[in-house]
Chain A
Amino acid sequence: MDYETLRLIWWALLGILLIGFAVMDGFDLGTAALLPFVARTDEERRIAINTVGPVWEGNQVWFILGGGAIFAAWPTLYAASFSGFYLAMFLVLATLILRPAAFKFRSKMDQPAWRSTWDWALFLGGVVPSLVFGVAFGNLFLGVPFGFDGDLRFHSDITLWSLLNPFALLVGLTSLAMIVLHGAAWLNLKTDSTVQARARKIMPAASLGFLVLFSVAGLWLLRIDGYTIVSGAAHDGPSNPLLKEVVREPGAWLSGTGPWVAAALAILAAAAAPVLRERPLAAFLSSALVPTGTIAAAGLALFPFLMPSSSIPAASLTVWDASSSKLTLAIMLGAVALILPFVLAYIAFVYRVMRGPVRAEDIRDNSKSAY
């Protein structure tokens, strides 16, 4: 397999991992973000939390694996994005750190103050990452100020405040609405009590919120200058981001048909999810297609860019110059092809074992072992 094909496959795999994260971890982030709204009593909260209890740890591995895979396949992107978005990453990590503790510790004491503290931790752990990931994506479209010296040492002028610009915040809210819709669809599927009734009411609102925000962001994006490679950047060349010429060009982000098709999928799926809410599984699968379409649209719009530089456009990271060596990409592809099918199979098995709604009796019968 040649270097260009390997890079394209790894670009697709990067998208698949991000989609895996948004779909699988998305519903438990969404459930946590909805906790104060769908569940008022302690029992209701425990019902909501226990819908994700057995699976959230596995779901979070999509995030961890995403980090590992970017490190292995796109090391320059790993270095640039995580150090460039330093404080944003800290916010994500700090709130995600609270989650495992909150899930595990919450039910270990009876005091209401104790439990509501961990409910807040779960809430923040759901809202903040959903928002920040969207903000990060928003900034990718705008480009962020960074460059490399001759040793390919990354340097940047990115600050947390510069990331919090109106367009990026809009994308952040879009991401949050998407995750909330997905969480509501999950609770609709996995509960059958007052929690389900409330989740069902939230679905149309979240869907509408997503559709409006997503459309406004899309229209805004038409007016944002994209980036285009004008020379250099051989598709099978060395991974050195300083060998090409890049210009900014109006309309470059949405010039292809790919992003439009993917965006249409996201819009249709978001509109269909609340309509299908009486058929919870169909509604959930529909809401799972929202992050799928959204992330695919973003990736296809940016392609071949991964992280454009606004200050030194030629230093932008692209699919052709930010990857690992051909050998590493080939070895890692072999490993993924070999192992991922098994992973997907046992994940499917776990969901089958844990199928069915969580009810109040389940919590009462297992009051000490349930979350």
Chain B
Amino acid sequence: MDLVELSRLQFAVTALYHFIFVPLTLGLSVLLGIMETVYVMTGRQIWRDLTKFWGILFGINFAMGVATGITMEFQFGTNWAYYSQYVGDVFGAPLALEGLMAFFLEATFVGLFFFAWDRLSKVQHLIATWLLAIGTNLSALWILIANGWMQYPVGARFNADTMRMEVADFMAVLFNPVAQAKFVHTVSAGYVTGSIFVLAISAWYLLKGRHVEFAKRSMTVAASFGLASALSVVVLGDESGYTAGENQKMKIAAIEAMWHTEPAPASFTLFGLPDLATHTTEYEIRVPWMLGLVATRVTDRPVPGISELVGEANTRIRDGLIAYRALSARRRLDQYRPYLWTAFLSLPLPWIAAELGWIVAEYGRQPWVIVGVLPTALGVSSTTVGNVTFSLLGFALFYSALLVVDLYLLRKYIRLGPEEALSPPPRMAEVAAE
């Protein structure tokens, strides 16, 4: 592989690993905020223990998000030096603002969340938890403003004296419609991920008949929040996705292996093996009218990100329905075993959707690193194949080892359950009485 391919592969590997942890952090932080709010409002100990227990799992995941995030901040410089030089004037600003406004907030208050239960008043600690949640969500906003600009580079112009792109209209960069759409889409996806995580584990407890009081309450919160989020993905994420961006037409065409413009209504290619040489698609399974149906909604307003939305929205609607059923079954949860099984087995779905979403978003932008501005192949650093091979293998090895440990610890603490994992252990007599 050459330098460009290796650099792309390294970015893909590190970004996809990073995004294993990010959506859960986004969703679980808000769920912790909700659980603790219920604790502060009702004063019932079980909600505090609930917050603390899910907090342990949040912490294990958060550490991995931080660890894999460090690389992301510096990788533009190490591996995409010409990219950084060429657009740093525009692209660097949201990254710096992310550090200033978001990372400081989440990283400072995550310390209080874990270590200051006995040092703060109930309300103070609740505020710390919410600031942690706000910080994580703000970080998504800033990084997606940066990423949205790569898809739809507004508010910048080329300066021949400095041989680079420079900010012309910062407000345009900030209020980039593609970035707004991506933000809503990504955080709702994170909320769904957090909800499914809590839902699936609670369902497993209920199936096993363990920690029933904990699991029921967790399920109520996760199901309500998950349903609201799933609906908002479909409504908000989808609608705001229809606002701008000629550039994404190519992506739909590529995904659909649509080599030639089709007479309306176009059919939707469900499966096929595109042949790059002959510009034909082998063994395709086509759904007549389907693409026409999707595309008619967008003829006058080209849509960024619809391609990602199609696949993910399907999963999310399904997740939402599971959540809704679980919610309506809340009173007699432990009797609805099929639903509990569905909830438990849907655990991996949000991650599959999120990772595939990023692959489509980033792969679909090729051959550009910034659409219409800078081809990917020009963005790389002038470093050696040996260097990048070494770092790629290093990161892949480190991340994989840490992921194994992370999953092992999550499994261990889920199996331990709240009674074993917390110190001091929850007083079960009190829990039963509530």
Contact = CB atoms under 8 A, between A and B. Distances in A.
Nearest to B120: A353
A90 B390 contact: yes
A186 B362 CA distance: 44
Given A54-B116, A343-B104, A83 B382 contact: yes
Interface in B121-180: 131, 159, 161-164, 166-168, 170
B103 A79 contact: no
Given A108-B409, A240-B162, A354-B115, A324 B89 contact: yes
Interface string A15-59: 000000000000000000000000000000000000001111110
Contacts of A65: 96, 99-100, 103-104
Nearest to B97: A335
Nearest to A154: B81
Main secondary structure, interface of A, reads helix
Given A54-B116, A79-B88, A328-B167, A101 B67 contact: yes
Interface string B351-394: 00000000000000000000000000000011100010011001
Interface in B83-117: 84-85, 88-93, 95-101, 103-105, 107-112, 114-117
A104 B77 CA distance: 28
A220 interface: no
A328 B398 contact: no
A347 B69 CA distance: 21
B60 A104 contact: yes
Contacts of A82: 74, 77-78, 81, 84
B77 A369 contact: no
Interface in A339-353: 339-340, 343, 346-347, 350, 353
Given A83-B381, A156-B382, A325-B89, A103 B170 contact: no
A75 B89 contact: yes
B81 A80 contact: yes
A90 B390 CA distance: 9
A79 B103 CA distance: 22
A335 B96 CA distance: 10
Given A71-B92, A156-B382, A79 B81 contact: yes
Which among A93, A96, A105 has the greatest number of chain B C-beta atoms within 10 A? A93
B398 A97 contact: yes
Contacts of A96: 70
B423 A368 contact: yes
Contact of A72 (B69, B92, B161): B92
Contacts of B170: 327-328, 331
A367 B381 CA distance: 47
Given A97-B398, A327-B167, A343-B100, A108 B412 contact: yes
A346 B253 CA distance: 49
Nearest to A82: B77
Given A68-B96, A151-B163, A339-B101, A75 B116 contact: no
Interface in A124-158: 150-156
Which among A94, A97, A98, A99 has the greatest number of chain B C-beta atoms within 10 A? A97
Interface string A346-371: 11001001100000000001111100
A61 interface: yes
Given A71-B77, A240-B161, A353 B387 contact: no
A325 B413 CA distance: 50
Contacts of B73: 64, 67-68
A354 B119 CA distance: 8
B421 interface: yes
Nearest to A67: B73
A130 to B, nearest CB: 16
| The 10 A-B residue pairs with the shortest CB-CB distance in the complex, in nearest-first order | A75-B88, A82-B77, A71-B92, A72-B92, A65-B99, A104-B63, A238-B161, A54-B111, A83-B81, A368-B423
Interface of A: 53-58, 60-61, 63-65, 67-73, 75-76, 78-83, 86-87, 89-90, 93-94, 96-101, 103-105, 108-109, 150-156, 238-240, 324-325, 327-328, 331-332, 335-336, 339-340, 343, 346-347, 350, 353-354, 365-369
Interface of B: 52, 56, 59-60, 62-64, 66-71, 73-74, 76-79, 81-82, 84-85, 88-93, 95-101, 103-105, 107-112, 114-117, 119-120, 131, 159, 161-164, 166-168, 170, 381-383, 387, 390-391, 394-395, 398-399, 402, 405-406, 409, 412-413, 421-423
12 contacts: A71-B76, A72-B93, A73-B96, A90-B390, A97-B71, A101-B402, A105-B405, A238-B161, A239-B162, A331-B167, A332-B97, A335-B97
